[in-house]
Chains A and B, each alone.
Chain A
Amino acid sequence: MSQQVRTIQGGQEYTGPGVVGPEYDNTTVTEKISNLVLRKDTELSWFAGVAIGAFGGLILLVSVTYLVLIGTGIWGLNVPVGWGFAIINFVWWIGIGHAGTLISAILHLMQQSWRNSINRFAEAMTIFAVMCAGMFPLLHVGRPWLAYWLMPLPNTMALWPQWRSPLVWDVFAVSTYFTVSLIFWYMGMIPDLGTLRDRATNPYLRQLFGLLSMGWRGATSHWARYEKAYLILAGLSTPLVLSVHSVVSFDFAVSLVPGWHTTVFPPYFVAGAVYAGFAMVLTCTIPVRKYYGLEGLITIRHLENMAKVTLATGYIVIYGYAMEAFISWYSASPYEGFMMWNRMWSGPYWWSYWMLLFCNAFSIQFLWFKKLRRSPIFLWFLSLIVGVGMWLERFVIVVTSLARDYLPSSWDVYSGTVWDWSLYIGTIGFFIMMMFLFIRFLPIIPMSEMKMILPRSKKAE
């Protein structure tokens, strides 16, 4: 059959009115995406990418091993800065994950069909980012082998978690978030795994995909329940994603430290998370669409839409910065006022605040220009700047507030040690490795959902 041999080369930028390029119909969408998984040859650059990621993963292993052997003293933490890189990185990674849920759940509820091209990819990003995030608090507890004490397990010492603490809420929020994201991701993939089962020629591969697809056969009565369940899952994930970063912000806001004790934190953290997450989706999708010739499926319009969301959420973040500064003045609290003055001018970290404003407030203004929003190369560099900016935001919040607390005699300057950095770089390597494995072994664009949004007349071809 011609179906078996026809392949789509891709590589054409598509700027027309449709959601996907004109070369795609039911057959070619299936071929293009499933061939990315089922092809026999793997290009050398893929191995190189995995190797780079795995090298980072090795750095992670070494860092964790040394940490477990020696203890958290290898990090730069000391009184008064007890929350350093571990918390910064935790919040950063969790935030990155949030765009995946936003794309898959909220845009699904709003019937934004363009999200179908990028939701699988963004959901995978969410899961790997939450894995990276979860490592930090587990390691930060100091004795990770006792981390199960975070869960309410009956024990002979009658120890229970402190239910009134946001840190315990965080355990529940993040573990629920991970589980629900995994369910959402897997459920969305069941029909596609069925497609891979039907297209695989290798009998072992066919059995593997058959198992993973749970024997999905696309019966309409099944689709009816599937769609209902998927819609409700989207409805459940939406408040969940808002709650997760709100709870993360409670870790700060519920305390009494100047610079943390702020009511604007929950919405400001959620917006910052979506902002960083969309930037990360851009960072990941722009090279992948180029390399695998997916320009007809993840079009310029998708990139532009993501840039618009980045700009919009960026402005909420800017509002957050403005409110922090305004309230520190308006509250007339000398501690709040000092905190802001210290953060902006007089403290040892003044440069980080201005770099943060450069990355998150100044640089995104370029997104007002349509031409730049439609330039993949520009967007890619901008997304990196945003990623750095969001890391700096958490650095500013965590470190500058703690380094100058209420007691001047305990003031100190904090900086990350080589082990702080190696753990952070290690998680980035782990993330890269997982993304490369995902690209090769699972369908990166949901085939069944793409077929739903193809124009009707094209389907009949």
Chain B
Amino acid sequence: MSHGNGSSAEPQLHGIMAEFEDEEAIISATQQAVDAGYKKMETYTPYPLEELMDILHLHKNKVALVILIGGIFGCIVGFFMQYYASVIHYPINVGGRPFNSWPAFVPVMFECTILFAALSAIVGMLTMNGLPRPHHPVFNVERFKYASQDRFFLCIESDDPKFEITETKQFLENLNPHEVSEVEE
């Protein structure tokens, strides 16, 4: 897919991608790319690799905060749902118990806390990851289908300030990859 610039222009590049055969290779390649001063890059692996998160400084994210907010919200909703029904909307005196008999409300409050926290976990995780997104430039690479199986990919993106097609390509070629390919936008 080309974007605008007329049909004669080169197709816009999302980046340049190198394929590696094992996790040691991708870890050292990513480390070298960071050391070389590249800033905008992403690695694609069939399972999470702790070392890559270290190198790319990805350990800090807002997932936990979103889940905490969801849980607190659920707890409040759980309480006020019961409070509204038994104190405001239709108070019934049952054996002289207080309308706001909050200890009996705790189980439902607890369940609502967990429910809202769990829903915010999956919705929050997907939203922050920009998913669902069935089409993405990286899927244009023929061999990218192995990224979910047994191969490891490093993509240096074209909006990196240091990105320059031939130079970046040469840099990746030197990292001993299985294959280097251009990722079309």
Contact = CB atoms under 8 A, between A and B. Distances in A.
Nearest to A154: B89
B140 to A, nearest CB: 12
Interface size class of A (residues with CB under 8 A): 35 or more
B61 interface: yes
A233 B118 contact: yes
A220 B107 contact: no
Contacts of B61: 224-225, 228
B63 A223 contact: no
A161 B24 CA distance: 58
B76 interface: no
A292 B133 CA distance: 34
A263 B65 CA distance: 37
A232 B21 CA distance: 32
Interface centre among B64, B115, B133 (most CB of A within 10 A): B115
Nearest to A452: B47
Interface in B94-131: 94, 97, 101, 104-105, 107-108, 110-112, 114-115, 117-119, 121-122, 124-126, 128-129, 131
B118 A220 contact: no
B45 interface: yes
Given A160-B89, A211-B134, A229 B148 contact: no
A173 B139 CA distance: 42
**Which applies to chain B's interface (DSSP): helix, strand, loop or mixed?**
helix
Given A160-B85, A221-B56, A168 B108 contact: yes
28 contacts: A3-B149, A160-B85, A160-B86, A161-B85, A163-B82, A164-B94, A172-B107, A172-B108, A183-B118, A186-B122, A198-B147, A216-B131, A219-B43, A220-B49, A222-B129, A223-B49, A224-B53, A225-B125, A225-B128, A229-B125, A236-B67, A243-B107, A243-B110, A447-B46, A452-B48, A459-B22, A459-B23, A460-B24
9 closest Cβ contacts across the A-B interface?
Answer: A214-B132, A198-B145, A223-B48, A26-B150, A160-B85, A229-B125, A460-B22, A169-B107, A164-B104
Interface of A: 3, 25-27, 30, 152, 158-161, 163-164, 166, 168-169, 172-173, 176, 179-180, 183-184, 186-187, 191, 194-195, 197-199, 210-211, 214-229, 232-233, 236-237, 239-240, 243, 247, 250, 447-449, 451-452, 456, 459-460
